[in-house]
Amino acid sequence: MKTPKSTIKPADFASLYEGFNAPVSRFDCGRKCAPLNDGEPVCCSTQNAVPVVHKVEFDLLKTRTDLWSKFKPYDYATKQIVAELTSDCMAIHCKGARHCERDNRTIACRGFPFYPYITRERQFVGVGTYWVFEDRCWMMSNLEIVDAKFVSEFVATYEALFVKDASEFATYVDFSASARRVYSRWKREIPLLGRDGELLIVAPSSGEIRPGRKKDFPKAKPFTSEKEYREAVKEAGGEVPKEGLRPS
Ligand code: SF4
Ligand code: SF4
């Protein structure tokens, strides 16, 4: 079946931005990952994460700020990222965390490290995490402190986006299927936060979902222990925050 043409306009992104302002949690998670990444939050440096936006979203941003510009790939991996983009998307980059403008963050910035998880039955049941960042993103190992308000704003934003642009929905149908394949290969369950912020666990082979328990909250290295974390920060030449790995 052909995907209906997108009707999304720059002004739609302006309203989406207004409804998506809640921080992921009340803690400043950048304090935990920056020491592993030359002092920059991992999700704010294109060495790690290249923000991908709808071309229409960039059209809006250009009218509001000079924070963003078109991303120029600099190596094989970044060339691949750009080559694989669909025709209505593009990669952009900002001037860096010190110049961040809260109101001019992209949907991708606001939602990181989460994506909309869609079941095989095409139900949008919650948010999953971009697993390739699990070794650098402290937040992904601390899902129990994600605010329910953030999840509900995330869900409302993507639901509105899917109505205007069916290709976005198709993208996450495919991405969620990739998540099931990857976790299945790893023989691991997929952690999600349900639409009310509750932990859910997906069995990747069957796609079945059950409620998560405390022990199911994921922890990835080096966020598994204070010792692991301190060693990783030391190796990266960073400085451990005074409270260590604990939320603060
Ligand atoms: S979301 Fe993850 S990568 Fe981004 S600042 Fe927080 S801990 Fe770092
Ligand atoms: S706009 Fe802000 S949140 Fe987004 S990548 Fe740049 S510094 Fe990070």
> Is the sign of the CA dihedral 95, 101, 107, 110 positive or negative?
positive
Backbone phi and psi for residue 129, each to the nearest 5 degrees, phi listed first = -110, 145
Q: Is the CB of 44 under 6 A from ligand 2?
A: yes
The set of long-range contacts for 235-242, using a CB threshold of 8 Å and a minimum separation of 24, is 236/35, 236/36, 236/37, 236/38, 237/38, 238/34, 238/35, 238/36, 238/37, 238/38, 238/39, 239/35, 240/35, 241/31, 241/32, 241/35
Tens of pLDDT along the chain (248 residues) come to 566 778 899 999 999 999 999 999 999 999 999 999 999 999 998 777 888 999 999 999 999 999 999 999 989 988 998 998 988 999 999 999 999 999 999 999 999 999 999 999 999 999 999 999 999 999 999 999 999 999 999 999 999 999 999 999 999 999 999 999 999 999 999 999 999 999 999 999 999 999 999 999 999 999 999 999 999 999 999 999 999 999 98
DSSP SS3 for 70 = strand
Q: From ligand 1's centre to the CA of 137, what distance in Å?
A: 5
Bridge partners (DSSP) of residue 202 are 190, 209
Q: Is the CB of 97 under 6 A from ligand 2?
A: yes
| Residue the block writes with tokens 């250009």 | 62
